[in-house]
A and B are shown apart, each in its own frame.
Chain A
Amino acid sequence: MSLLDIDERILELVDLVDLDVSPFDDKKAFDRQVDVGFVEGGCSNEYNVKELREFRKHCRILISVGACAINGGVPAMRNTIGLRECLEAVYLNGPSLEGAGMIPNDEDLPLLLDRVYPSHEIVKIDYFLPGCPPSGDAMWEGLKALLTGKAPTLPYLLCKYE
């Protein structure tokens, strides 16, 4: 969503690129190879892993965007606690629970991973755009570099881990 922070520059961008799978056009699955993929968020369940592998398979260049994709971010706070302990604290021993709770186990729910993984621990990532979130200017720098066939590098004021 940081992509929208590039504001009116998005008009320049749409003249140069075609969006394929994205939240903007709501296309859910790849049906062809694309040049560049941006992934945000880490992998906390098996669905995320499947999705990320699909991206890797269909994107010539894959970029990890934002702190969650790079180190797991806030969801990764559970990594130092352990999955079972987290689920029990919320669904069995939570202070707002009435009666006996239960840990959700519906087959439609994606199975949670033992911990939250950054994207580059699941697939090969070509470039990183850090930030929480990366600023519109950082996104634009990255896009400009890619459109001109260069590796994205951020100047000091745009490279932020926070």
Chain B
Amino acid sequence: MVAASFKFNIDGIEVEATEGQSVIEACDEAGIYIPRLCHHPELPPSGNCRVCTCKINGRHSAACVTPAAHGMVIENDTPQLTSDRRAVIEMLFVEGNHPCPYCVASGDCELQALGYRLGMVAPTQPYQWPERKIDATHPDIYLDHDRCILCSRCIRASRMEDGKTVFGFEGRGIAMRLNVDAQGGLGETQMAAIDKAASVCPVACIVIKRHNYQVPNGSRRFDKTPIGSDIEAKRTRRQS
């Protein structure tokens, strides 16, 4: 059976979707970029970063967990939503420790790339300087909790893709932390460097050792083109 297809409208553009798709999936396919951080195309959505929040039929909803529906009217690229999203990114910057100049992920980091794309020149919320530990107990991977933005991608990847339960959250609110399922740190878990969970981190929290500067600064994913350019290119191709 072929899933029924229908149309909805985002920023004045008509998008075709099939039943079962979320708003973000349908827009990705149509070449319309909705900024996102916790969403990953190969993982089930979790809707916890709120960066992809759009105004859907007049209400604020996260596009990654909202099923697309016939006749929806969506606002995405508006000054207000861009400003709201920038505020979320700024809060994530000051809540952890994110020193771009000496971070291994700079140029490849989705948090940084969203800062660039959304027009953040400097986070102006007060820096929190939390004290967080580095877990280097694993021979091939280290966990830099300074960078963690609690997106839950690694948790989802470990459970759904790797069939393990290496990661989980502990605590609530500002005290929430990423944790591993062994007292002695990541080295005592089932984690392996080839796991999906090791490659989905949007920042430099889960880092595979000894591979970090193979692509030099200046030639990385977001050094020349903004995040989302690959998605937007689909639409440009279709139009031309």
Residues of chain B whose beta carbon lies under 8 Å from any beta carbon of chain A: 97, 99-103, 106-107, 112, 115-116, 121-124, 126-127, 129-132, 146, 217, 224-226
- Pick the residue among A67, A130, A154 that contacts B99 (CB under 8 A): A67
Does A80 lie within 8 Å of B129, measured CB to CB? yes
Closest to B126 in A: A121
Count of CB-CB pairs between chains A and B under 8 Å: 62
Residues of B within 8 A of A67 (CB): 99-101
Which of A9-17, A69-77, A101-109 touches B?
A69-77
Does A157 lie within 8 Å of B121, measured CB to CB? no
Q: Bound state CA distance, A73 and B103, in angstroms?
A: 11
Whether A118 contacts B127 in the complex (CB less than 8 A), given A159-B121, A162-B106, comes out as yes
Does B124 lie within 8 Å of A161, measured CB to CB? no
Pairs of residues from A and B, 6 with the lowest C-beta to C-beta distance, nearest first: A132-B101, A161-B100, A128-B122, A79-B129, A128-B121, A162-B106
Does B116 lie within 8 Å of A159, measured CB to CB? yes
Q: Bound state CA distance, A80 and B130, in angstroms?
A: 6
Whether A71 contacts B121 in the complex (CB less than 8 A), given A132-B100, A156-B226, A157-B224, comes out as no
Number of interface residues, chain A, beta carbon within 8 A: 28
Flag whether A115 is at the interface (Cβ < 8 A).
yes
Residues of chain A whose beta carbon lies under 8 Å from any beta carbon of chain B: 64, 67, 70-74, 76-77, 79-81, 115, 118, 120-121, 127-130, 132, 154, 156-157, 159-162
Residues of A within 8 A of B123 (CB): 71
Q: Bound state CA distance, A77 and B124, in angstroms?
A: 19
Does A161 lie within 8 Å of B127, measured CB to CB? no
Does B122 lie within 8 Å of A120, measured CB to CB? yes
A100: shortest Cβ distance to chain B, in Å? 28
A68: shortest Cβ distance to chain B, in Å? 9
Q: Bound state CA distance, A127 and B121, in angstroms?
A: 9
A72: shortest Cβ distance to chain B, in Å? 7
Does B122 lie within 8 Å of A71, measured CB to CB? yes
- Most chain A CB neighbours (cut-off 10 Å) among B99, B106, B115: B99
Known: A70-B122, A156-B116, A162-B217. 9 other contacts (CB 8 A): A74-B99, A74-B101, A74-B102, A80-B97, A118-B127, A120-B124, A130-B121, A132-B100, A156-B225
A115: shortest Cβ distance to chain B, in Å? 6
Residues of B within 8 A of A162 (CB): 100-101, 103, 106-107, 217
B35: shortest Cβ distance to chain A, in Å? 15
Whether A76 contacts B99 in the complex (CB less than 8 A), given A64-B122, A156-B116, A159-B116, comes out as yes
Q: Bound state CA distance, A76 and B129, in angstroms?
A: 9
Q: Bound state CA distance, A161 and B120, in angstroms?
A: 10
Residues of B within 8 A of A159 (CB): 116, 121
Does A71 lie within 8 Å of B99, measured CB to CB? yes
Does B127 lie within 8 Å of A121, measured CB to CB? yes
Residues of A within 8 A of B122 (CB): 64, 70-71, 118, 120, 128, 130
Closest to A68 in B: B101
16 A–B pairs (Cβ distance < 8 Å), ordered by A: A67-B99, A67-B101, A71-B127, A73-B99, A76-B129, A80-B97, A115-B129, A118-B122, A127-B121, A130-B122, A132-B101, A156-B116, A156-B225, A161-B115, A162-B100, A162-B107
